[in-house]
Structure formats: structure tokens, C-alpha cells
Amino acid sequence: MTNRNCPNRKPRVLLIGNSAKTSVTETMQRVEQIVAPHACIVGKVLGQHTDELIMGDPDLIVVLGGDGMMLAVGRAMGDRQVPMVGVNLGKLGYLAEFAVQDLADHIEQILDDSEHVSTGMMLDARVESDGVQRFHSPAMNDCVVQAGPPYRMVELAVFVDEEPLTSLAADGLIVSTPVGSTAHNMAAGGPIVQRGVDALVVTPICPHSLAHRPLVLRGTQAIEVIGVRVNEGTTIAVDGQISTPFKESDRLVIRAFEHRFKLIRHPDQTRWHTLLTKLKWGTRPEARSQR
């Protein structure tokens, strides 16, 4: 990472790119040319290095990659959340809304207009074994209990604010944020929740019951999951990127993280644009060709 002094009052911008993307080096050079006349670039990073994110002390982070990179950077910022603008080099680009040309067209608005900054709740996930915390991570999308090998159903006891909610036999359980409701949660049949709403979405994965349906809870509540019967490979996965084993009698506690992530919205797109154009929500089936 390169550090540069910022003698003026220009915004401090960090560029971070996913080194797994083949075009990231060339794209970062182009983005630097776009940003440099308007801001002070405090560093350029290829990878996901938490210490470097904090050392740069940026006012804005430009993330080059896809949604996965956005999730990794959001988690890495922890309690020092600053606005992120995503330049999509991936496939979907649900969080990374900008193309390089979009960034060029809107760079002054991005840097000067706080109207385009949206915030959203994150999760705080903690795992305890024998009363001792051994895992802790924020999450932007979700925290998932996955059955794992040998792929038998697991039994989970679920509590809300320390009150019993249910005993669940299933392939797992998803607890997601509203922004994460369009990820694993949606694929498992859970509801789509509008960004900006403070809510916890609880969705069983293939439950062995017709009675277990997804549940939306207030964002102020705490969800506790205890492993009653689990597999050798049962894990807790955070944002689909980091994981930890989940053993019998382990305790997973999920609540709202004390800090909120910050994303720069595309100035030319409505709040529903990505849902409609990329996830095709509400799209009618195409008519069959007439013969």
C-alpha cells in the first residue's frame, strides 16, 4: 500500500481491488486517473488487508471487484465504517453498482453529496463453547448454520431475547440483514426486505416441517442458536467467506452490530433498480413465439 500526505482539505480516498480479477490492475490505474484530480489518494491495495484499511484513515473507499469484495471490506472496516463505492468487476454487482464510466460521470457527486450515502445494519455474530467466546465477527449479509458432512439434518434450539422460539430439524439456519436478504436467504425461500429497514430475517434451510416458515424480527432483538445435534462438519459461515466449527452445545448469538455500513448509491438509479434489472423481480414470463 502507498501512503501519501494530504496537505489540503480534499477527501481522503483509498482504492482497494480484488487481486483475483484479471483486469483489476488496469482498472485501478483508470480509477486513479478519475479520482486524483478531485481527492487525495491515501493508498492503493490489492487484497483484503484489514491493517492497511485502518492505517489509510480514508473518508471514502473505492472497491474494485464484486459483491464479495464489498462484503470483505465492510467487515474489515469493523467499527470504523466509511462510505464505500463499488466498481463492479464481477457478475451481479448488487452492492457494487458502478461501472468505471459511471464513476467518471459522477465522481464530484460521490465526493461532495452526502445525499447518496445509504446506511444499513450489520450483524454481530459470536460463538461460545463451554461459556467461552471463541469466535466473533461482524457480517454485512448473513450468518448461516450449515449442516455440513456427513450431511444429516441438524437439530437446533432457537431463542429470541433469551425466550424459547422453536426447536428446528433442518439442513441449517440463515440469519440475514435486509441487504443480505437477496442472497442466501432469498435462494432458500426467505423474504426480500427493503434496504435501510432494521430487521433480522430468520430462514430455516430445508426444514423437516411444513410449519417452519421464514420470520422477520425487529433489528433490536438478539437471536441465540444452540447446537442440540450437529454433524462433524457443521459450521457457522459469515457472509459465505469466513467460517468456524459449530459443535454440540455450542452457542451462537446474533444481534445488530453497533456500527452501520455505508454505501454510495448510484445517482441515476432508483432504490429498486438493481432488484428489478439484475434480480428480475416481478418480471413476467416471456411469451412463447407464435408459429
State pLDDT tens for residues 263-280: 999 888 777 767 777 677
Rounded to whole angstroms, the Cα distance separating 281 from 284 reads 9
pLDDT digits (tens, 9 = 90+) for 120-172: 999 999 999 999 999 999 999 999 999 999 999 999 999 999 999 999 999 99
Which is the catalytic residue, given 67, 124, 142, 239?
67
Which residues make up the CATH 3.40.50.10330 domain(s) of the chain? 12-120+260-277
Out of 3.40.50.10330, 3.40.50.1220, 3.30.360.10, 3.40.50.2300, select the CATH number for domain 12-120+260-277: 3.40.50.10330
Average confidence score pLDDT of the chain: 90
Active-site residue flag, 268: no
Q: What is the pLDDT of residue 284?
A: 76
Q: Quick one: which of 41, 32, 51 has its CA closest to 11?
A: 41
User: What is the CATH topology of the domain spanning 123-256?
Assistant: Tumour Suppressor Smad4 (2.60.200)
Rounded percentage of the chain residues whose pLDDT exceeds 70:
91
Helix, strand, coil % (nearest 5) of the chain?
Answer: 20, 35, 45
Q: Is 176 helix (H, G, I), strand (E, B) or coil?
A: strand
